[in-house]
């Protein structure tokens, strides 16, 4: 997530930012998937990663909100 977010911060345009943030969104969701898979496979106890899952969920919400704001700003530019 971090490397992709850094790339988004260096986007060349708002549409490029939105596209790169979409990748960050996918990576955040994938991270949560793998953690959940480890829990379901009983390879790790939920209580050991509950904070990590919570933080991933919060990051995902922030990223989705950022994408929405950026899209809204693009729409305003071309309205």
Under the phi-then-psi rule, with left for phi > 0, alpha for psi from -120 to 50, and beta for the rest, what region is 70?
Answer: alpha
In the Cβ-directed half-sphere of 11, how many Cα atoms lie within 13 Å?
A: 17
Q: What is the pTM of this model?
A: 0.87
- Give the whole-number percent of the chain exceeding pLDDT 90: 91
In sequence order, the 6+-apart residues with CB closer than 8 A to the CB of 21 are: 5, 8, 63, 66, 67, 70
Q: Which residues of the chain have a pLDDT value below 50?
A: none
Q: What is the pLDDT of residues 50-63, one digit of tens each?
A: 999 999 999 999 99
> Domains plus CATH for the chain?
2-77 (1.20.1440.60)
């Amino acid at each position: 997530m971090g490397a992709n977010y850094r790339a988004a911060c260096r986007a060349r345009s708002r549409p490029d930012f939105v596209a790169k943030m979409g990748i960050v969104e996918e990576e955040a969701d994938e991270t949560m998937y793998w953690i959940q898979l480890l829990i379901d496979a009983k390879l790790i106890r939920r209580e050991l990663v509950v904070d990590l899952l919570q933080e991933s969920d919060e990051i995902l919400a922030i990223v989705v909100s950022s994408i929405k704001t950026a899209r809204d700003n693009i729409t305003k530019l071309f309205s």
